[in-house]
């Protein structure tokens, strides 16, 4: 385990599951706002930098959520594969319209 993961696990220990779960919700909301700004101001470099930062924050919180709720990367990847298969079918159907 790398230094980043150790630090993020320590955050869970210090702040607790509820606080970090609420922080995850807040970070997701900030990502939504950053996406919206990038769509509105497409040529602004600061929008892109903010989007990168918010993606980073959400990825950190996703790591913590998996740790707190005992979710493995394998379980997540399994669902991603299932969703990719469904999307592939939808894309095929979309092309037929």
* Whole-number percent of the chain with pLDDT over 70: 99
Q: What does the pLDDT average to over 42-47?
A: 85
Q: What does the pLDDT average to over 65-94?
A: 96
Each as own residue / partner, the long-range contacts of residues 28-34 (CB below 8 Å, 24 or more positions apart, any chain) are: 28/58, 28/61, 30/54, 30/57, 31/55, 31/57, 31/58
Q: What is the H or E stretch that residue 20 is in?
A: helix 17-40
Quote the mean pLDDT of the chain: 95
pLDDT confidence tier of residue 44, bands split at 50, 70 and 90: confident
pLDDT confidence tier of residue 45, bands split at 50, 70 and 90: confident
Q: What is the pLDDT of residues 17-28, one digit of tens each?
A: 999 999 999 999
pLDDT at 94 over 80: yes
R_g of the chain computed on alpha carbons? 17
pLDDT at 97 over 70: no
pLDDT at 95 over 80: no
Best CA proximity match to 66, nearest among 56, 55, 77, 81: 77
CA 96 – CA 41 distance, rounded (Å): 34
């Amino acid at each position: 385990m790398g230094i980043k993961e150790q630090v993020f696990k320590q955050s869970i220990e210090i702040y607790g599951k509820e606080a970090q779960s609420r922080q995850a919700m807040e970070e997701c909301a900030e990502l939504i706002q950053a996406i919206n700004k990038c769509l509105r101001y497409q040529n602004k470099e600061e929008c892109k930098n903010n989007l990168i930062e918010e993606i980073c924050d959400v990825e950190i919180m996703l790591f913590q959520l998996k740790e707190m709720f005992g979710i493995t990367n394998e379980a997540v990847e399994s669902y991603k594969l299932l969703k990719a298969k469904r999307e592939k079918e939808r894309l095929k159907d979309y092309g037929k319209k």
